[in-house]
A and B are shown apart, each in its own frame.
Chain A
Amino acid sequence: MVTEASSMSGAEFAVRFLLLPIAIIAIIWFLWALPSWLRRSSFRPGQAWTSEPLWVGAPAESDAITRAAIDSATPGSGTDDRGGASARW
Chain B
Amino acid sequence: MLAGEGLRTIDVTRIEEAVAREHTRCGVDFSVYVGPLVDGRDSALALHSQFGAESPTTVLVAVDPGSRATEIVTGVQARRWVDDRACALATLSMVSSLSAGDLIGGICHGLTTLGDQARHPGSLHTDLPE
Contact = CB atoms under 8 A, between A and B. Distances in A.
B102 A41 contact: yes
B interface, over-half SS: mixed
A interface, over-half SS: loop
A44 B103 contact: yes
* Chain A interface residue bracket vs B: 35 or more
Interface string B1-19: 1111111101110011001
B130 interface: no
A87 B39 CA distance: 14
Contact of B101 (A44, A77, A78, A82): A44
17 contacts: A39-B105, A41-B8, A43-B7, A46-B66, A49-B4, A53-B2, A56-B15, A56-B19, A57-B29, A58-B1, A63-B2, A74-B42, A78-B42, A80-B45, A81-B79, A86-B69, A88-B68
Interface of A: 38-60, 62-63, 65-66, 69-78, 80-89
